[in-house]
Amino acid sequence: MNSFYLAWQYLKFNASKSLVILACITIIAVLPLALEILLQESERQLALRAEASPLLLGMKGSALDLVMNSLYFSDEAPEAMSMSAVEEVADSGLAGPIPMHVMFEARDFPIVGTSVDYFSFRKLELAAGDMFTMLGQCVIGAEVAKSLNLAVGDSLVSSPETMFDIAGVYPLKMQITGVLEPAHSPDDRAVFVDVKTAWVIQGLSHGHKDVTRTDDSTVILKREEQNVTANAKLIEFTEITEANIGSFHLHGKPDSLPLTAVLVVPNDEKSGTILRGRYLEQETTLQLIRPKDVVDTLLATIFKIRNVLDAVILLVGFATMLALLLVFSLSLRLREKEIEVISKLGCSRMTTVKLLGAEIVLLILGSSLVSAVILAAIRQYDRLLVTSMFI
């Protein structure tokens, strides 16, 4: 007990050196364990989201891009497909389609164009307000509301694709009608709009003053008996209100308007199998995939990367331990006079060894305590950390 008391007093007197050593031991212990916790949670979240999404319809190409964009709202949008695919799935009578349009952002949060069926499918509940019912309205996720300090009744402007594209799509000022309860999923970081609002943001639907009644001739490019063509000077509305909503119109047939994917919810397993078979034909440009299969392949790759990371951490830990041994040996050399004084006071060599051993034990105990606290905090907030960092 006296050995530990003297060791404790020595560590307190050399607090800076003791803290550095304690930090080194803690990092070596925490790093691989924390990485393991976060990887396990990320795997769990990826798998849960994929398992909860039976089938996904999109253009043939990268299945991973399709899944990451449709389920986790990543920046990389797959090739657009037409809205007619939604009707094809609905007409089959085998599944219910949910359109997805994930191309744009509002202040770094993805804008997800979809239908109200998406909310019941994902079991998303409103914390405040109502669902969007009109063009230009949006419902925001819990993290969007918290990060941007937004609430029902506020507005949110979509981000232009490129800052210097003055001839590009106008940003749309959207009215927030609802805020979702935290779901601890990518939905918390999304801005949900009706798919028709997403087309307005894309510039495929717009509203402006009635050119047939305008007195400003500078906005008229061509005037015919049955048609009036305006030029680029005609300013489009950047906010949809009850006063101007009647002027908004689509350019092109509704069936040809773009979607990034269709979330397909089959009636049962047999219906899903039949539907998948129909999209295996080589003539079709669409692919119907099971997100779980794609995520399983991704997780297998992550598992291989994790093995590499484990090996790197092991090597770094081994090198750090060698550095710590060097520090201890140098410290003993610097403390030769202290050890000599201890001997002259009548202490045996074994007592000196006990004192040094007590110091190491106290440092390891301190590091273990700090590591346990850090790991407990990471485990407590692992879902939030993974959602904000990786997904």
Both tokens of residue 376? 């407990």
Contacts of 298 (CB under 8 A, 6+ apart): 46, 64
> Token digits for 37?
């916790």
**DSSP designation for 102:** E
In degrees and rounded to multiples of 5, residue 71 shows phi and psi of -95, -35
Type of residue found at 11: L
Residue type present at position 323: A
- 276: enclosing H helix or E strand: helix 269-278
Could you list the pLDDT tens digit for every one of the 391 residues in the chain?
A: 578 888 888 888 888 888 988 888 888 778 878 878 888 888 888 888 888 899 999 998 889 889 999 998 987 888 999 999 999 999 988 999 999 999 999 998 999 999 999 999 999 999 999 999 888 899 999 999 999 999 999 999 988 765 555 555 678 889 999 999 998 888 999 999 999 999 888 888 776 666 566 666 665 666 666 666 665 666 666 777 777 777 777 777 778 889 999 999 999 989 888 888 888 876 788 999 999 999 888 888 777 777 777 787 778 778 777 877 887 787 777 778 877 887 787 778 888 888 888 888 998 899 899 999 999 998 888 877 777 665 5
pTM: 0.73
CA distances from 326 to 62, 176, 322, 332, 333 (A): 51, 61, 6, 10, 11
Rg of the Cα trace of the chain?
A: 31
- Other C-beta atoms closer than 10 Å to the C-beta of 361 total 13
Q: Is 128 exposed, middle or buried (0-12, 13-18, 19+ CB in 10 A)?
A: middle
Q: How far, in Å, CA of 351 to CA of 234, rounded?
A: 91
